[in-house]
Amino acid sequence: MTELGKQIAVVANGFVYVGECYWKGDFLHIENAKNIRVWGTTKGLGELIKGPTSKTVADKCGTCLVPKGQVILFLQVVEGW
């Protein structure tokens, strides 16, 4: 298991999640995940590394398992969430 800490993860088909991430086998596990449905930013997705804006909409979704080949990118969360 390789722990990545709290990340914003962009995965295939435009889905964006935030949560505690780690690799286990061929899957990315995102614990205490939230699906970021509406970014609510004025400066792009990177603005969310410091937490949600007042216009961000994120839905709790438990633990997500994402196949390794479906991960597009990570943004390290520095505070918030």
Each domain of the chain, given as residue ranges in start order, spans 2-76
**Beta bridge pairs of residue 18:** 8, 34
Residues in the chain: 81
Give the pTM.
0.95
Asked if 11 contacts 61 with a C-beta cutoff of 8 angstroms, the reply is no
* Residue closest to 61 by CA, chosen among 18, 22, 6: 18
Asked if 22 contacts 1 with a C-beta cutoff of 8 angstroms, the reply is yes
Report the CATH fold assignment for 2-76: SH3 type barrels. (2.30.30)
Ordered per-residue pLDDT tens for the chain, 81 residues: 999 999 999 999 999 999 999 999 999 999 999 999 999 999 999 999 999 999 999 999 999 999 999 999 999 999 999
Q: What is the pLDDT of residue 46?
A: 97
